[in-house]
Amino acid sequence: MSGAAPSLDELASETEAEAARLDKELEEIELLIKQARTEVARHEQKRTQAEQRLTNAETRPQPVPAELREASGQLLAVARRASLMEAQIDILEGKQRSLGRFRDSMRALAGSMAELPGGTAPTDAGDIESSRAILEAQEDMRREIARQMHDGPAQSLTNIALQAQIVQRLVDRDPTRASVEVAQLVAMVQQTLDATKTFIFDVRPMVLDDLGLVPTLRRAARDRGRKAQVPVSFDSIGADRRIGNDLESGLFRIVDDAIGGYLSTRPARVEVRLDWTDHSLHASVRGFPADEVPAPEALPAEPSGSREKGGGRGRRGGQEEMPAALARMIEEQKEGAAAASEAAASALAQARALPGPVWQQIQQRARTVEVAVDLEETGQRMVVVAQLA
């Protein structure tokens, strides 16, 4: 081996150090949020002043066009900056919550490793690989969040800033065109806010912490169905209730991944159902196929007088007996058609089934939160059973 395996104490120390670095990042984000809120309050005061100035200019007996344009432009600029700062606050707060939960998970992991007996090198290679997998998964998650933030909200905010500069230049020269550009700017801001909220929901839906599993899954089913243009029905039977955070998060991800997996097969519709009992939760996700397997074409029926005991070429009912070779040929054609129909049905069912990578991810998550998952109806229905305390 190239080097000594790290001990549990060393891994716990590294994880705790990573949590400490996240603490510093969270402090920086909190500082940025405070600064942004201060700027929003300052721009709110300026907006009030700009509105008063514009009102005074409009209510004069003889309004001065230049003064009206200047007051209108100042109000527009202040409102634009305030909107940008509010959008930045939403993004920063979403990142703050995500990193906070990540930090807490790492700290809990460090504590768990510190409590394990021995405190020396792992007993086998599986422990080392598990620790490495945890750290790699953490880095992958942070990399994915950064990439999505860069490609999504960050790019949109850049476009908004450019659009705002266009509006600022047009306010004095062409107020009519400026009003059109302002409408586009407002639409861009709204679109960015919606995209940011969707991004935050994908990373960690806040409604899951606030309201629980049922409202979150209902929204996820509705949003996914609307995006895929496929009807997704959602039913919850029985008295739902709040459950542990880990189990609640795991069940949401399992069902949500299954919904997305079935929607990728372009079904006619998807059905999501939760059945609550006193001690368990049964959840199912089913994709209904858009078409059915065509029935095999009927082969010509074998003539009734095809065979005769004792052999020979006798006659029965005025018809000559069918030769044995021809009878075997017809029988083989029937068996071949039946086999082809069965293979086509199996292939079509597999095409409609939950995709393999999605199912593997669901199985891995199910093992983590200790719930039972199964595929039924040739993969067209996923069932989850969770025991509730």
Q: What is the CATH number of the domain that holds 196?
A: 1.20.1270
Tokens describing residue 129:
């690989």
The contacts found for 333-342 with CB under 8 angstroms, 24 or more apart, are 333/299, 334/299, 337/296, 337/297, 337/299, 338/296, 340/296, 341/293, 341/295, 341/296
| In a domain? residue 336 | no
Report the pLDDT value the prediction gives residue 348, as an integer from 0 to 100: 44
Domain boundary among 203, 234, 249: 203
Report the pLDDT value the prediction gives residue 381, as an integer from 0 to 100: 92
| Residues 324-335, mean pLDDT to the nearest whole number | 70
User: How much is the mean pLDDT over the chain?
Assistant: 75
Q: Are residues 235 and 358 in the same domain?
A: yes
- β-strand 315-316 against 319-320: which pairing, if any? antiparallel
pLDDT bracket for residue 150 (50, 70, 90): low
Q: Are residues 58 and 86 in the same domain?
A: yes
Tokens describing residue 284:
């199912």
Q: Are residues 12 and 146 in the same domain?
A: yes
Q: pLDDT tens digits for 257-287?
A: 999 999 998 899 999 999 999 999 999 999 9
CA distance 364 to 64: 70
Check which CATH number belongs to the domain holding 249 and give it.
3.30.565.10
User: Residue 168 corresponds to which amino acid?
Assistant: Q
| In a domain? residue 344 | no
| In a domain? residue 58 | yes
User: Residue 252 corresponds to which amino acid?
Assistant: F
CA distance 342 to 335: 11
Is the pLDDT reported for residue 190 higher than 50?
yes
Tokens describing residue 19:
């949590």
Task: Between 154 and 177, name the one with better pLDDT.
Answer: 177
DSSP H helices in the chain: 8-59, 65-115, 125-149, 155-173, 175-203, 206-210, 213-228, 245-263, 324-352, 356-369
Tokens describing residue 350:
């597999």
Q: pLDDT tens digits for 63-98?
A: 777 777 777 777 777 777 777 777 777 777 777 777
CA distance 208 to 250: 11
Q: Are residues 234 and 103 in the same domain?
A: no
Is the pLDDT reported for residue 48 higher than 90?
no
By the 8 A CB rule, do 26 and 132 touch? no
CA distance 134 to 126: 12
pTM of whole model > 0.75? no
57: domain range? Answer: 8-203
| In a domain? residue 157 | yes
Tokens describing residue 23:
């603490």
Q: Are residues 48 and 127 in the same domain?
A: yes
Which residue is associated with the tokens 């500082």?
31
Is the pLDDT reported for residue 55 higher than 50?
yes
| Residues 340-344, mean pLDDT to the nearest whole number | 54
Q: What phi-psi label fits residue 108: left (phi over 0), alpha (psi between -120 and 50 degrees) or beta?
A: alpha
Domain boundary among 167, 184, 203: 203
| In a domain? residue 84 | yes
Is the pLDDT reported for residue 288 higher than 50?
yes
CA distance 339 to 65: 84
Tally of domains in the chain: 2
Least confident of 220-224, 242-246, 271-275: 242-246
Residue 133: CB atoms within 10 Å: 10
User: Residue 116 corresponds to which amino acid?
Assistant: L
Q: pLDDT tens digits for 153-174?
A: 767 777 777 778 777 777 777 7
| In a domain? residue 19 | yes
Q: Are residues 175 and 42 in the same domain?
A: yes
Least confident of 50-54, 274-278, 297-301, 337-341: 297-301
Is the pLDDT reported for residue 309 higher than 70?
no
| In a domain? residue 340 | no
CA distance 361 to 86: 36
Is the pLDDT reported for residue 125 higher than 60?
no
The sign of the dihedral angle between the CA atoms of 110, 112, 113, 119 is: positive
Report the pLDDT value the prediction gives residue 291, as an integer from 0 to 100: 59
